[in-house]
Amino acid sequence: MPALSSSLARQTFITASRRIAHQPHIHPHAFTFTTNRRAFTMSNSDNKESITSWADKSGSFKRQVSSFRDAIEPNGKFAPEKGRYHLYVSLACPWAHRALIVRQLKGLEEYLDVSTVHPHMLEGGWHFVSPENASAKPAPVSEHSNDTFPAATADKLFGVSHIRELYFKAQPDYNARFTVPIIWDTKHNTIVNNESSEIIRFLNTAFNELLPAGEKKDLDLYPEELRKEIDELNEWVYNDINNGVYKSGFATTQEAYEAAVKPLAKALDKVEERLSDGREFLVGGKLTEADVRLYTTIVRYDPVYYVHFKCNFGLIRHDYPNLHKWLQRLYWNNPAFKDTTDFAHIKEHYFYSHKHINPNRIVPYGPNVDIEPLKSS
């Protein structure tokens, strides 16, 4: 489909931003430390309402509001340019995974380089593979060698050891969690955006004028005629599934857990029913951002969320045949999904990093097959 005009693209982004303002999609993978430059652990005397508090007084998981909300757009402050922007991700993180998928779907590999953190996130937050890691203080790094996870990289722009340093470069008084994904602008030396739902929205069109003619340029993951349906689907999928697994896993009371896991079960049933007509994609008979946003949760469900987040009322591969088929098609038929899915990073991050859930940091041996082969009809 033809690229959106600059004004239309801008209006689309603004409208989308307003719609999602009440439901930030940043993951909670930074709950063990404060953002003060001088200290990265909390004492018992610290304010209970600190930014490190990931559950409220009822024991329910709280999600942070994203801080950087600009967009790459033609004729704007952050105009599309080849090589100007850099994407920071974790291969374990479902929110960052969204950005990697869209980057590959749109053919932006030559326009947007990537730095990938090590999957183990400890007291200092996300860290890179670099010589400095061996002596990084006060944040210890993984006991495993860097070679254990070859997909992890150094910070390709500055050579910093931790994601937190990028936040302080962009905003010296930054006082929130250090999350990924991040889009960094090398011209203004700042973070453009750290909200995954907005990043995938503007990556869908921002570079179209620079892309060569072809399928990837024409791909529109948010077509105008399907936007209402996509928005409606995104809302409940985010609340009850994308965020629902976290609300279940990070709950600290039985009541909070049940208040999260029951809507999650109903939402998965709802998706299963939606796919019961044999459709290949969630909306409109074509690949859209709705598929991208759901995929990054579902592909982690059986290997991690079923056990680690206590979402054990059903396995995708055994109890949701339609959803399982949808997952298999995306993974096996589209390289943008398979190439960006790293089960080693995924499993190691959750089971090793969430010590409050898994104190001994034992990483389960299974499943024997991370995602089952797609059988011919």
Contact partners, residue 243, CB within 8 Å, separation at least 6: 23, 25, 61, 63
Task: State yes or no: 37 annotated in a binding site.
Answer: no
Order of strands across the sheet that contains 182-185: 112-116, 85-89, 182-185, 190-193
Q: Return d(Cα 71, Cα 15) in angstroms, integer.
A: 13
Task: State yes or no: 376 annotated in a binding site.
Answer: no
For 334: left if phi > 0, alpha if psi spans -120 to 50, otherwise beta; the answer is beta
Task: State yes or no: 180 annotated in a binding site.
Answer: yes
Task: State yes or no: 13 annotated in a binding site.
Answer: no
Q: Return d(Cα 338, Cα 296) in angstroms, integer.
A: 11
If you count DSSP H runs as helices and E runs as strands, how many of each does the chain have, helices first? 14, 4
Query: Which of 85, 111, 222, 246 is an active site residue?
Result: 246
Q: Return d(Cα 181, Cα 194) in angstroms, integer.
A: 6
* Beta-strand relationship, 182-185 and 190-193: antiparallel
Active site residue 246: yes
The answer to whether 86 touches 17, Cβ cutoff 8 Å, is no
Task: State yes or no: 126 annotated in a binding site.
Answer: yes
Task: State yes or no: 15 annotated in a binding site.
Answer: no
Active site residue 311: no
The answer to whether 293 touches 238, Cβ cutoff 8 Å, is yes
The Cβ-side half-sphere exposure at 301, using a 13 Å CA radius, reads 27
Residue with tokens 């049940």: 258
Query: Which of 85, 93, 301, 352 is an active site residue?
Result: 93
Task: State yes or no: 43 annotated in a binding site.
Answer: no
Question: Residues marked as binding?
Answer: 126, 177-180, 195-196
Question: Residues marked as binding for glutathione?
Answer: 126, 177-180, 195-196
Q: Give the residue numbers marked as catalytic.
A: 93, 246
